[in-house]
Amino acid sequence: MYELMAPKLYQVCKRYLKKEEEIEEVLTDAFVIIFTKIDQLKEDAAFFSWAKRITINECLHLLKKEVNFNIYLEESSCKIQPAVTQDTSLEEQDVLKLLNYIPKGCKTVFNLFVIEGYSHKEISNMLKISEGTSKSQLNAAKGKLKDLVNNFYYQNAK
């Protein structure tokens, strides 16, 4: 089971955390919880969703422990370049890499809302923020991601 699930849950961790040692720590902690509480799972079909939820919770737990984790918008050092319309391709992996340049708070809300499918109400409960803050962080993340994508196209058009 570990060999089957570890690569998928590793990718989940990678969307939230940058450092390899943090990813490995969270993945290990998540699997300890998964194996300890597997008897509490009622539906076998829901196993991956259940394991993914545990992994996300462990990522959020680690992020909240960090002293510099701030859910509010931080200044970004990305430079805005004009959009260039050219046939360059941006792969999913490129977008996931660009997410690493978004402030942690924005990135966390973006991951939870866009990728994981949680509502703003669920996010506000998980992160102990208001729904309005969740929405503004999502909008800020989308704006910064758009700027980064434009910069990507600008750099690749040269």
Q: Please report which confidence band the pLDDT of residue 157 belongs to, taking 50, 70 and 90 as the band edges.
A: low
Element (H, E) at 16: helix 2-16
Q: Please report which confidence band the pLDDT of residue 4 belongs to, taking 50, 70 and 90 as the band edges.
A: confident
User: Could you tell me which CATH class the domain 2-65 is placed in?
Assistant: mainly alpha
- Give the torsion sign (CA, 54, 102, 76, 146): negative
Per-residue pLDDT at 83 exceeds 50? no
The pLDDT of residue 41: 82
The pLDDT of residue 68: 53
Per-residue pLDDT at 103 exceeds 60? yes
The pLDDT of residue 2: 82
Tokens of 13: 């961790």
Distance (Å, whole) CA 12 – CA 27: 9
Report the largest interatomic distance among the alpha carbons of the chain, rounded to a whole angstrom: 56
Distance (Å, whole) CA 82 – CA 8: 36
User: Could you tell me which CATH class the domain 92-157 is placed in?
Assistant: mainly alpha
Kindly list the domain boundaries of the chain, sorted by start residue: 2-65, 92-157
Least confident range from 16-25, 66-75, 118-127: namely: 66-75
Q: What are the backbone dihedrals phi and psi of residue 45, each rounded to the nearest 5 degrees, phi first?
A: -65, -25
The pLDDT of residue 46: 85
Per-residue pLDDT at 33 exceeds 80? yes
